[in-house]
Amino acid sequence: VELHSKLGQGTTFRIRVPLTLAVLPALIVRAHGRRFALPLAPIADIFELDPNKLQKLDRWDAVLVRGSILRLIDLEPWINAGSSPPGAARHVVVANVGDERYGFVVSDVVGREEIVIKPLGASLRGLAGISGATVMPDGRVALILDFAGLIAAARGGTRAVAGHG
C-alpha cells in the first residue's frame, strides 16, 4: 500500500495485489465439525450416504451409484477424528480424479464459495491430501484438500495430523 499526499492537490492511494493471489471456486464441507475446502472443478455429484448400501471392495468401502461401484474415502478417520455418531447423516462428494471417480464422505456440505488460496506453513507442508489453506469469512482457517493426495493417502493408509483443520 502506498500513500502520496500533496497539500491542495489531493491524495493518491496505490494498492498492489500480488499476481500469485489465486482464487479457487470451492465446496466447503465439514468432517467431524472441522471445515475443509474441496476444489469445485472435479466435483461431479453430491448425495446422502445410505449406510445400508455400503459394501466392501477389497479394502475399500464402496457403494453402488447409477450402476457402477464408487470407492469411498471417509475424511473423519483421515483426520484422526473417529467416526460420526450412529444414525448421523453423512454425504458423499463424488469427484473425477484422472480417469477414475471416488466418493469423499463428509459429515455436512456447507456450500460453494470463492476462496483465496494461502500457502501452507512449514508444519503442514508435505502432508498428503492438503494443498493449501484459506481464511473463511468468520476468520477461521479451513484447509484446502487435494483429491489426488487424499486418494494416495487412502491407498497408503496415511492420515493427517490430529488437531489441524
> How confident is residue 163, by pLDDT bands cut at 50, 70 and 90?
very low
Q: Is the pLDDT of residue 107 over 80?
A: yes
Strand partners for 91? 48, 106
> How confident is residue 41, by pLDDT bands cut at 50, 70 and 90?
very high
pLDDT higher for 50 or 88? 50
- Decide: 160 and 31 in contact? Cβ < 8 Å: no
The proportion of the chain whose per-residue pLDDT surpasses 90, expressed as a percent, equals 54
Instruction: Report the chain's mean pLDDT, rounded to a whole number.
Output: 86
How crowded is residue 108: how many other Cβ atoms within 10 Å of its Cβ?
A: 15
Q: Is the pLDDT of residue 85 over 70?
A: no
> How confident is residue 165, by pLDDT bands cut at 50, 70 and 90?
very low
> How confident is residue 49, by pLDDT bands cut at 50, 70 and 90?
very high
> How confident is residue 157, by pLDDT bands cut at 50, 70 and 90?
low
Instruction: Measure the CA–CA gap between 110 and 53, rounded to whole angstroms.
Output: 24
Instruction: State mean pLDDT over 43-64.
Output: 93
158: Cβ–Cβ under 8 A, 6 or more apart, which residues? 128, 129, 152
Instruction: Measure the CA–CA gap between 151 and 158, rounded to whole angstroms.
Output: 10
In the block, which residue shows the cell 494498492?
15
For 13-19, the CB contacts below 8 A with 24+ separation are none
